[in-house]
Amino acid sequence: MRERLSIVLAAIAALLLANNLHAMFLTLPDEAMQGAIYRILFFHAPAAMVGMIGYFVALTLSIMYLSFGDFKYDSLAASVIEVSLVFSLVNIVTGSIWARIIWGIWWTWDYRLTSALVCVLIFSGYIMLRRAIDEPTQRARLSSALCIFGCVDVVIVWKSIEWFRNQHPGPVLDFRTGGGRMDPAMSHVFYMNFLALLLVATALVLIRTRQESTAREIDSLRRVAHAA
């Protein structure tokens, strides 16, 4: 059932992406100031949003694990964080390529970029921590605590373009500015691409969660074999 759902989600995402790529390259014109490179925005910002949504879903799941002690919440949180990390990496790499053309540099240590990098480092640490601890309860408890700590940085990443003066551009999306900062046609393609990436991420989380439950099954069978 879960496998079929992930295939359906991936297929819908593929159709949406094909439609969005058509709109990006054949319908939308180049941006007046930036030229063709602005199209990176259609992957850069949605990837960041998908990553952030994932981290907050993982935060909820980690709190649920700490409250109820059910390992399925811990497995789901680990799966969501791994997929979110992939999208955060996409965000940082595409942003860096955009910056090389627009700013003339690959990287600058401003609040938004630095906090986004710290976020990637914290959640990479989360994955390393899980691999380093074999005892399931200790692994789940410590990684849940690290997830809650990491989500403080996610809030800083999100709000940094409002709180501080940055080289990174300020908010342009309708739901943050009240509208008027982005052309409606571009805004439509942006949100459709966000939806497509969200579907891709959900499909990947479903696959990853299935692997986590297989790993749990292997662990319990191994315990049975040890006990025999």
Q: Which is nearer to another protein, 156 or 203 (CB)?
A: 203
Which residues, including other chains, have CB under 8 Å from residue 181's CB and lie 6 or more apart? 171, 172, 173, 174
* Contact string (CB under 8 A) for another protein, positions 114-153, x = contact: -----------------x--x-------------------
Q: How far is the CB of 93 from another protein (least distance, A)?
A: 5
Q: How far is the CB of 162 from another protein (least distance, A)?
A: 25
Across 187-209, b (16+ Cβ under 10 Å) vs e yields eebbbbbbbbbbbbbbbbbbbbb
User: Which of 7, 11, 14, 215 contacts another protein by CB under 8 A?
Assistant: 215
Q: How far is the CB of 213 from another protein (least distance, A)?
A: 10
- 225 is written with which tokens? 């074999």
Site for another protein in 40-99 (CB under 8 A): 40, 43-44, 47, 83, 86, 89-90, 93-94, 97-98
Q: Is residue 226 near another protein by the rule CB under 8 A?
A: yes
User: Which of 2, 7, 8, 35 contacts another protein by CB under 8 A?
Assistant: 35
Q: How far is the CB of 37 from another protein (least distance, A)?
A: 5
Distance (Å, whole) CA 127 – CA 205: 15
Distance (Å, whole) CA 29 – CA 141: 50
Q: Is residue 218 near another protein by the rule CB under 8 A?
A: yes
- 61 is written with which tokens? 């799941």
Element (H, E) at 9: helix 2-22
Alpha helices in 69-183 (DSSP H): 71-102, 111-132, 136-163, 174-177
CA atoms in the 13 A half-sphere facing the CB of 201:
27
Chain contacts with another protein (rule: CB under 8 A):
34-37, 39-40, 43-44, 47, 83, 86, 89-90, 93-94, 97-98, 100-101, 131, 134, 200, 204, 207-208, 210-211, 214-215, 217-218, 221-222, 224-226, 228
